[in-house]
Amino acid sequence: MASGLAGCQTTASQPKRRKGARYMGDFAADPIPNLRVGFIGTGARGSGHVAQMLMMEGVEVVGICDTDAAAAAGSAKRCVDAGRKAPGVYDQGEHDFLRMLDEVPMDAVLVATPWRWHAPMGVAAMERGVHAFLEVPMAPTLDELWQLVDTSEQTGKHCMMMENVCYGREELMFLNMVRQGVLGELTYGEGAYIHDLRSQMHEDYSEGLWRVDHHTRRNGNLYPTHGLGPIAQYMGCERGLDRFERLVSFSSPALGRALQAKRDFPADHPRNQATYICGDMNMSLIKTQRGRTILVQHDTTSPRPYTRLNMISGTLGTLAGFPTRVALDPEGKGAHGWLENEALEPIYERYEHPLYQRVGEEARKAGGHGGMDFIMLWRIAYCLRNGLPLDQNVYEGAAWSAVSPLSEASVAADGMPQVFPDFTRGQWVSTQHLQVIGA
């Protein structure tokens, strides 16, 4: 039990830092002017990463790995069609990524595979001297998150969760406004992943092969980081300004998936033989060390329009997404209506993030969730090529992803508070919070 948190439960011990390991909070690797990148997982998500990396100066795609030979061959062909050297192709089963990491000299690897593979692949890459970039969530268990943290510290290699939403135009502008003090002192945030994914029940390929299964084994917030990551960055959590301290979580009844299966499949179909236990809506409430609160929602089952909420509130105003809205109260006279639609034009003119100003047009043309994917990958390449710290460190990825196992534990304990591990082991206080960078 954590000191001063009576009644709270911890779900994992906090291991000591390994001998010879280093803190990675503000870590910058030596510059890599000619960046050699490998890819593990080139389905719908990974193949998009390959295509966008091929657009970037100083980046060479050197290895492609996928259990689906056609998917691997397709991404390799894309490289050749772009006038690049053919990458090595590895398609001989689930563990062929190890052969690629052993045989192909590379500086970084991007992992876009089912969640259970993120930690094993990230650890294997770093142990072989390769920077690891993992899709979201970084890992589904606390033990695996600690493995990634410890391996990054031991090897001195980056391990970044690729939270692309932090690079959306709205999210970047909100970060700029927060850093300029427009909202005053921050007090509260809301993030969510509300996305009706019941169509995956019909898939026998791609994410439908494995993602639905999580609803039969886990009850909590299965996918927290899209909504939470930007809020955490606004607040500077795990980076000098604040950190996640504890969480409580409740789930609604699990009804929608079973109803969908009964409605769409024969009685003897595997979808009707499964028992769905993940509540249709999960609501988790995080309290930070400074007493701020963050609401995080997850619902991929209900017939509800897509939203990530993206709301951040402070003493001088509130910013909100879906749709983008701004309410400011700098003089204390009250903010009783939103600025939205065309009324936001002066806000964009004044607070557009310098990074979006630099690559936003190129990103819109490249596509990928409105351009945010391209900006994320561009920024990763830029930081590695120029020897700069990354915008997301391993501790942030671990803390944001930890909401999943902690929410599961809290739901199972009827809402008992769960304490966040301090993946930084106290060193978050000395870590520079994310600045509004211009490149």
Listed range (8-17, 60-69, 206-215, 350-359) with the worst mean pLDDT = 8-17
Using alpha carbons, select from 229, 226, 227, 230 the residue that is nearest to residue 171.
230
Q: What is the three-class DSSP state of 312?
A: strand
Calculate the CA 219 to chain-centre distance: 20
Model pLDDT for residues 19-36, shown as the tens digit of each residue: 999 999 999 999 999 999
Model pLDDT for residues 113-150, shown as the tens digit of each residue: 999 999 999 999 999 999 999 999 999 999 999 999 99
pLDDT of amino acid 287? 98
Listed range (6-20, 55-69, 110-124, 308-322) with the worst mean pLDDT = 6-20
Q: Looking at this protein, which amino acid is placed at residue 422?
A: D
Decide if pLDDT at 439 tops 60.
Answer: no
Average pLDDT (327-338) is 89
CA 309 → CA 94, 139, 228, 231, 291, distances in Å?
37, 23, 10, 10, 21
Q: Binning pLDDT at 50, 70 and 90, where does residue 3 land?
A: very low
Mean pLDDT of the chain: 95
CA 65 → CA 13, 99, 114, distances in Å?
35, 10, 14
The model carries a pTM of 0.96
Contact present, 121 and 128 (Cβ < 8 Å):
no
Model pLDDT for residues 336-365, shown as the tens digit of each residue: 899 999 999 999 999 999 999 999 999 999
Q: What is the three-class DSSP state of 9?
A: strand
Q: Binning pLDDT at 50, 70 and 90, where does residue 7 land?
A: low
Tell me whether the omega of the peptide bond preceding residue 87 falls within 30 degrees of 0, making it cis.
Answer: no
Q: Binning pLDDT at 50, 70 and 90, where does residue 330 land?
A: confident
Contact present, 288 and 399 (Cβ < 8 Å):
no
Domains belonging to the chain, first-starting first, are 166-355+390-430 (3.30.360.10)
- Give me the DSSP letters along 24-91: -TT--PPP-SSEEEEEE--SHHHHHHHHHHTTSTTEEEEEEE-SSHHHHHHHHHHHHHTTPPPPEEE-
Decide if pLDDT at 82 tops 80.
Answer: yes
Q: Looking at this protein, which amino acid is placed at residue 76?
A: A
Q: Which residues pair with 35 in a beta bridge?
A: 59
